[in-house]
Structure 1
Amino acid sequence: MKIDDSKNKQNLKQLIDTKEYVAHISVDCTIFGFHNGILKVLLLKYHDLDLWSLPGGFVFNDEDLREAASRVLYERTHLADIFLEQFHTFGRKERTENNVHQILLKNKNIEVPKDHWIFQRFITVGYCSLIDFTLVDTFPDAFNETCAWFEVNKLPKMAFDHERIVEVGLNHIRKNIDTQIVASNLLPEKFTMKELQTVYETVLDEKFRRNNFQRKILALNSLERLEKFFDGSPNKAPYLYRFVSQK
């Protein structure tokens, strides 16, 4: 999906001219996608730059951070009603020193004073989520030419410190995998233990023995065992489960 360049330039000029943003604060959304044993992250490619970034943006004076994260994610990708969890604040002083904004504005022939707020130091608040990337449609906004899913261990060249944000976000997802899986609706309402184990192994990037995994998961007391799943095969039918919170 290509965006008209004149509209892109107009929207970019409008963005940098506004005075309604909280100074020096931004939000970045790290959306991890799972499907069929593959873990990916959603990235945007800048117009005229061989750089990719996370969906991110600025915070209006009259909105909460969580509201800003949801709004920015929708504006940048058209993803809506996504469970977002704040996971880290990124404040290294050199995090925006790779001149992405300067290059982007120069390529659009937009003249901005060197002391403009968009060139100054920004602290960003990271939000993350874990979803099934085959169940959503994404669309780039006027500042980017495409949205794409990349495997987490095969990232392209990234803008700012977004590679580090992905790394920290992935560590957060892994440390909080039990909560993330319940909240993300990655699985159908009824699922087998094998399906749940596949999600854990993909996100954590490690293998588990079936019996050890089942013992660990059942000890959490977050599952309800249901009827057996009969698929007509000669193998022993597995039990179906669902999360207790979905009752």
Structure 2
Amino acid sequence: MEDDSKGAVGLDLIPQLSLDCVIFGFHDGLLKILLLRWKETEEWSLPGGIVLQRESVDDAANRVLMERTGLTEIFLKQFHTFGDLHRYDKKELQDKLGHVISTEHWYDRAVSIGYFALVDYAMVFPNPDKYTDECKWVDLKEVPKLLFDHNAILEKAIQSLRRELSFQPLGYNLLPEKFTMPELMRLYEAVLDKKIDPRNFQKKILKSGIVIRLEEVKRGLAHKSPFLYRFDKERYEEVLEDGGLFFV
């Protein structure tokens, strides 16, 4: 939300327009969010950035996400535009972040385009930006009070993800190449924040044809080793295009 055109960077940006990105990952049965901790503070926010005059908003979002995650192939979905008149308190920002950016570099009003991204947790190399000391994964249920209106943006992203759960390639983007049926089920439980009947879930997933069972099992577990699966990407895309996965 800051105006870099007033700083030393001197970028040819679109004034008063910014991006805020909610980056979802999945690890150890939990939904994760990538957050940034601002320099010399305990203040956190979502990753975001500016839009340059020479790039589309989608290209700008991909650029921001590549800088934060190290990934170039990312599933992105634009989910909302945040344009309230008063989205943050400049005095509060001065108190918390004045040592990082002077309030003269903050817009009186900024419109932000919200994106959510689905990424493979294991493939991400979190990288802070020039205003922050740390970029790390945080459990969704442990997200602190964020700067700006970022808690509201995060909540809107989660609502959007849940509404479109049956129409987005959730598993293909959040799980590793090989996974177990319980891992796939826990992913949907984490997003929905509720339990799913395992027998009904497996029956409907197998009937959809979006997964292929491999002749491998997951080793190192205390109980019976479950079979590994992988997605049939072509069939997955066909099912989504034909109306979606209605099984939860």
Range into which the TM-score falls when normalised by the shorter chain: 0.7 to 0.9
**1:80 matched to which residue of 2?**
71
Instruction: Compute the displacement of 1:44 (Å).
Output: 0.5
Alpha carbons 1:45, 1:145 under 8 Å: kept:
yes
Q: Which has the larger radius of gyration?
A: 1
- Residue by residue, what CA displacement relative to the aligned partner does 1:128-186 show, whole Å, maximum 9, x if unpaired? 12233233211212111111222112222311100111111122222333424244151
For 1:124-143, what aligned pairs fall within 5 Å after superposition? 124-143=112-131
| Structure 1 residues 214 and 206: CA distance shift in structure 2, 3 A | same
CA RMSD of superposed structures (Å):
3.2
Q: Decide which of 199, 204, 219 is 1:211's aligned counterpart.
A: 199
Alpha carbons 1:102, 1:119 under 8 Å: kept:
no
Q: Decide which of 219, 243, 246 is 2:231's aligned counterpart.
A: 243
How far apart in 1 are the matches of 2:163 and 2:152? 17
**1:4 matched to which residue of 2?**
none
Instruction: Compute the displacement of 1:39 (Å).
Output: 1.4
Give TM-score scaled by structure 2 length.
0.77
Q: Decide which of 131, 138, 146 is 1:158's aligned counterpart.
A: 146
Alpha carbons 2:31, 2:187 under 8 Å: kept:
no
| Structure 1 residues 121 and 210: CA distance shift in structure 2, 3 A | same
Q: Which runs of 5+ in 1 are unaligned?
A: 1-9
**1:186 matched to which residue of 2?**
175
Query: Is the partner of 2:70 in helix, strand or coil?
Result: coil
- Residue by residue, what CA displacement relative to the aligned partner does 1:60-111 show, whole Å, maximum 9, x if unpaired? 0110011101112233x24322222111111121113354654577425858
- Residue by residue, what CA displacement relative to the aligned partner does 1:162-219 show, whole Å, maximum 9, x if unpaired? 011111112222233342424415132x433222112112222211112221233345
For 1:225-240, what aligned pairs fall within 5 Å after superposition? 225=213, 227=215, 229=217, 240=228
**2:18 matched to which residue of 1?**
26
| More divergent stretch after superposition (48-57 vs 60-69) | 48-57
Alpha carbons 1:91, 1:124 under 8 Å: kept:
yes
Pairing 1:92–2:84 present: yes
Percentage identity across aligned positions? 38
Q: Which runs of 5+ in 2 are unaligned?
A: 236-248
How far apart in 2 are the matches of 1:107 and 1:209? 51
Pairing 1:13–2:7 present: yes
Give TM-score scaled by structure 1 length.
0.78
| Structure 1 residues 134 and 192: CA distance shift in structure 2, 3 A | closer
How far apart in 2 are the matches of 1:186 and 1:74? 19
Alpha carbons 1:50, 1:157 under 8 Å: kept:
no
Alpha carbons 1:98, 1:160 under 8 Å: kept:
no
